A and B are shown apart, each in its own frame.
Chain A
Amino acid sequence: MPDPVISVENLGKKYILSHQQQRSTNLREVISEGAKTLGRRFFKPSDVPATRTKPSEVEEFWALRDVSFEIEQGDVVGIIGGNGAGKSTLLKILSQITEPTTGRIKVEGRVASLLEVGTGFHPDLTGRENIYLNGAILGMGRVEIKRKFDEIVEFAEVEKFIDTAVKYYSSGMYVRLAFAVAAHLEPELLIVDEVLAVGDVSFQKKCMGKMGDIATNEGRTILLVSHNMGSIEALCTKAMLLVGGQIKQFGSAHDVVLSYLEPIYQSKSPLKKFANCTRRGNGKLQIISFHMESPEGTVLEAIKSGDAVVFVFGFENINTQPYERFSIGFSIHLSLHMGQEMGLHYGCLSHYASHFSQVHFRDPPDHGYVRCGFSELSLSPGEYILASYVMVADEEADRPHLPIPITVLPGDFYRTGTAMEKDMWGPLLVKGEWELSAAKDDLSMSQASVRQTP
């Protein structure tokens, strides 16, 4: 067995949070505080320990705790976890930006980390100058940069603007150039933090391709943080799931991604609460719960194809003005392999919002519900995912990143008196009027169609 490239033992990182009224470290405070302590120590030595630790003001926070793992040469490891799970802290420690509080790390080979695209870019410098500067900051030598210069420019597709100050670049060009420099580093170990989510789709593909190249053709080791489960599964051989600063699972990328998404699907309660999820939007009105009920008002755990059903969105009005109109929308998705933050468009079956039907609500109560009733659910039996959002005054107010699982059971969609089969060919159900007739005259049919399209 080859030696590990990275071995980490009992890694921990502690931050001290001070809960004082806006405690920016100010020299005067430190001096006066120090003088007080000194004074107390001088006069009443027994008092000192009590005044030193102020439990009400200072709180310890372990961003990482007891993290141990080993990574072998050529592994591409994805690091996943919710916000605040310690992913970025781990990368920062591995790339030596900050030191650990406990533990020991051994790394074999040259490390390059890419925690941000375009670190050290200076807006006043030209593209050419920034390539050299950024390259040097990332640890490349002048000779090395010169050798790769043309390749970098070509990859970034900015040949025409290479002698223009980057402050005049479009944001896409800027990001492309920045990624291009970083992508041409040749470290034995590359550490990347969520930088693939930049640029347009075609450039993202190019970046993914480049990363794949680095890993497979050149046999380098990569550590990658991403919220995009799709790219984790596509790029990584292994994945590590961090929860609350600890490793919950470390294994094959597919298994770890599945178990990361699992808790979101496995909550059995029919009422889904949106407590601790990340959100986008201005927050004027937030969705706090979702459930389904029958037209009579019974809460449903699962629904059947062809049944009448009501979707109920619970909301909390944060600061919507009475005159501002709002609407709620949702989308239904197919894929189980969906990321929490990205990829919600993937496998989208349908998207519907109240304003599509010209329904706008006004003057919401502090807490309330918006209901949307369907006379007939036309989904095949299976598992689906629902994502919802709120618009207030035509601006995005809330988009919780919490996919809601919906279970659809076989039902009597076709009104035959018996439930349909479980395995259908597609997610959408249609039904219509069937009719048999004899062909009358070929000529009259073609004439009819000609007449309809002038």
Chain B
Amino acid sequence: MKQLRRTSLVIEAGQGSSLYWQDLWRYRELFYFLAWRDVVVRYKQTLVGIAWVLIRPLITMVAFTIVFGKLAGLESKSPGIPYPILVFAGMLPWQLFSDSLSRVSTSLVSNSHVVSKVYFPRLIVPVSAILVSFVDFLVSNILLLALMAWYSFAPSWRVLTLPFFVLLTCLTALALGLWLAALNVKYRDFSHLTPLILQFGVYISPVGFSSSIVPDRWRLLYSLNPLVGIIDGFRWAVLGRGTQVHWLGFTLSVGLVIVLLATGLWYFRKTERTFADVI
């Protein structure tokens, strides 16, 4: 039943809602409903439905294994680990990240009809966009399990740390995505920029190869790309032996993500009050 407690709301010029974080809690189910809508709608009127989630990473994995592993001959540099698993363990976080980022950055604009007509804490929109990608990610994990079973590759205790890296991936996407989403409301240029970042990112991140092929003196610089730490961490958690994380670089990545997230939240909160006016 409805709570009888009176809530008192104050709206003041230049202040935003006084109940923002309370509202975020009150609207918590909207996170779920927006994500659920996107998941359900995506596979309506399709023949194979949810199978699309599996087809995409499978084909990319095959392509990367052939291009990087065979043609470029990188397979020999990571002995002991079946190359498809190596690629796939890198591709899972990458796809979670790239999917999330492209969804988050367009989330506000594609929900503009709702944003301009109803109030709720706008932060729900980008966060629920990440939930959608997270669902895809969970499904794709089945493929990884299948691959590992095929190559009789048993994970170690480290696999228990995986949720931490998954969370880090989502936060990285959110951090960058908040900036892009908020900027995209005003400057649609950013909807062109995001695919560019992602297209570029897949080559400068260690998706199709192991980051161990980067010379040691460049490793710290390379870590400025937060995806390097994340993908390394993923491989470390899933594959165990034969992979190592550049921990100093990893700390640097995490620090960078925290800074990005804090500023992203700040910018988002600052501009969200005017979204309805400019969207």
The judgment on whether A and B are partners is: yes
Per-residue CB contact flags for chain A residues 142-175 toward chain B (1 = under 8 Å, else 0) read 1000000000000000000000010000000000
| A137 CB-CB contact with B under 8 Å | yes
| B41 CB-CB contact with A under 8 Å | yes
Once the chains bind, are B7 and A109 in contact (CB under 8 Å)? yes
Q: Which of these, A93, A104, A137, contacts B120 with CB under 8 Å? A: A137
Once the chains bind, are A137 and B276 in contact (CB under 8 Å)? no
Once the chains bind, are B33 and A133 in contact (CB under 8 Å)? yes
Contacting residues of chain A (96-116) with chain B, CB-CB under 8 angstroms: 96-111, 113, 115-116
Q: Which of these, A25, A28, A104, A137, contacts B11 with CB under 8 Å? A: A104
Alpha-carbon separation in the docked complex, A94 to B17 (Å): 11
The answer to whether A107 and B11 touch (CB under 8 A), given A92-B276, A136-B30, A136-B33, is yes
Q: Which of these, B13, B45, B116, B120, contacts A99 with CB under 8 Å? A: B13
| B117 CB-CB contact with A under 8 Å | yes
Q: Which of these, B27, B30, B187, contacts A26 with CB under 8 Å? A: B187
- Residues on A with C-beta less than 8 A from B36 are 133
Minimum C-beta distance from B115 to chain A (A):
8
- Residues on B with C-beta less than 8 A from A137 are 30, 33, 114, 118, 120
The answer to whether A125 and B37 touch (CB under 8 A), given A25-B187, A186-B2, is yes
Alpha-carbon separation in the docked complex, A108 to B187 (Å): 36
- Measured CB to CB, the nearest residue on chain A to B189 is A27
Contacting residues of chain A (16-49) with chain B, CB-CB under 8 angstroms: 25-28, 30
Chain B: interface residue total (CB-CB under 8 A): 42
Alpha-carbon separation in the docked complex, A122 to B119 (Å): 18
- Residues on A with C-beta less than 8 A from B113 are 119-120
Alpha-carbon separation in the docked complex, A137 to B120 (Å): 8
- Residues on A with C-beta less than 8 A from B251 are none
Minimum C-beta distance from B192 to chain A (A):
10
Once the chains bind, are B118 and A120 in contact (CB under 8 Å)? yes
Once the chains bind, are B14 and A107 in contact (CB under 8 Å)? no
- Measured CB to CB, the nearest residue on chain B to A130 is B37
| B6 CB-CB contact with A under 8 Å | yes
Q: Which of these, B9, B12, B117, contacts A111 with CB under 8 Å? A: B9
Contacting residues of chain A (222-260) with chain B, CB-CB under 8 angstroms: none
Once the chains bind, are B13 and A101 in contact (CB under 8 Å)? yes
| B8 CB-CB contact with A under 8 Å | yes
| A326 CB-CB contact with B under 8 Å | no
| A352 CB-CB contact with B under 8 Å | no
| A132 CB-CB contact with B under 8 Å | yes
Once the chains bind, are B117 and A105 in contact (CB under 8 Å)? no
| A138 CB-CB contact with B under 8 Å | yes
- Residues on B with C-beta less than 8 A from A136 are 27, 29-30, 32-34
The answer to whether A99 and B119 touch (CB under 8 A), given A105-B10, A111-B9, A133-B33, is no
Once the chains bind, are A99 and B118 in contact (CB under 8 Å)? no
Q: Which of these, A101, A108, A124, contacts B6 with CB under 8 Å? A: A108
- Measured CB to CB, the nearest residue on chain A to B187 is A27
Alpha-carbon separation in the docked complex, A15 to B13 (Å): 14
Once the chains bind, are B13 and A26 in contact (CB under 8 Å)? no
- Residues on A with C-beta less than 8 A from B32 are 136
Alpha-carbon separation in the docked complex, A15 to B276 (Å): 12
- Residues on A with C-beta less than 8 A from B41 are 122, 124-125
Contacting residues of chain B (83-114) with chain A, CB-CB under 8 angstroms: 113-114
Q: Most chain-A Cβ atoms within 10 A of its Cβ — which of B41, B117, B187?
A: B117
Minimum C-beta distance from A155 to chain B (A):
20
Once the chains bind, are A99 and B273 in contact (CB under 8 Å)? yes
| A95 CB-CB contact with B under 8 Å | yes
- Residues on B with C-beta less than 8 A from A99 are 11, 13-16, 273-274
Alpha-carbon separation in the docked complex, A98 to B274 (Å): 6
Alpha-carbon separation in the docked complex, A103 to B15 (Å): 11
Q: Most chain-A Cβ atoms within 10 A of its Cβ — which of B17, B44, B119?
A: B119
Minimum C-beta distance from A139 to chain B (A):
7
| B40 CB-CB contact with A under 8 Å | yes
Once the chains bind, are B37 and A133 in contact (CB under 8 Å)? yes
| B70 CB-CB contact with A under 8 Å | no
Once the chains bind, are B186 and A25 in contact (CB under 8 Å)? yes
Minimum C-beta distance from B67 to chain A (A):
34
Contacting residues of chain A (61-100) with chain B, CB-CB under 8 angstroms: 92-100
Once the chains bind, are A106 and B118 in contact (CB under 8 Å)? no
- Residues on B with C-beta less than 8 A from A110 are 2, 7
Alpha-carbon separation in the docked complex, A107 to B9 (Å): 5
- Residues on B with C-beta less than 8 A from A30 are 187
Minimum C-beta distance from B50 to chain A (A):
16
Once the chains bind, are B2 and A129 in contact (CB under 8 Å)? no
Minimum C-beta distance from A127 to chain B (A):
14
Alpha-carbon separation in the docked complex, A287 to B148 (Å): 79
User: 24 A-B pairs, CB-CB below 8 angstroms?
Assistant: A12-B13, A25-B186, A27-B190, A96-B119, A97-B116, A98-B273, A99-B274, A100-B13, A105-B9, A107-B11, A110-B7, A111-B119, A113-B118, A113-B119, A115-B117, A116-B117, A119-B118, A122-B37, A125-B37, A136-B34, A137-B33, A137-B114, A142-B29, A186-B2
> B residues engaging A (CB < 8 A)?
2, 6-17, 26-27, 29-30, 32-34, 36-37, 40-41, 44-45, 113-114, 116-120, 186-187, 189-190, 273-274, 276-278
Given A101-B13, A132-B33, 10 further pairs, Cβ under 8 A: A30-B187, A99-B15, A99-B274, A100-B12, A105-B11, A110-B7, A116-B117, A124-B41, A136-B30, A142-B29
The list of the 3 closest CB pairs from A to B, nearest first, reads: A136-B33, A96-B119, A27-B189
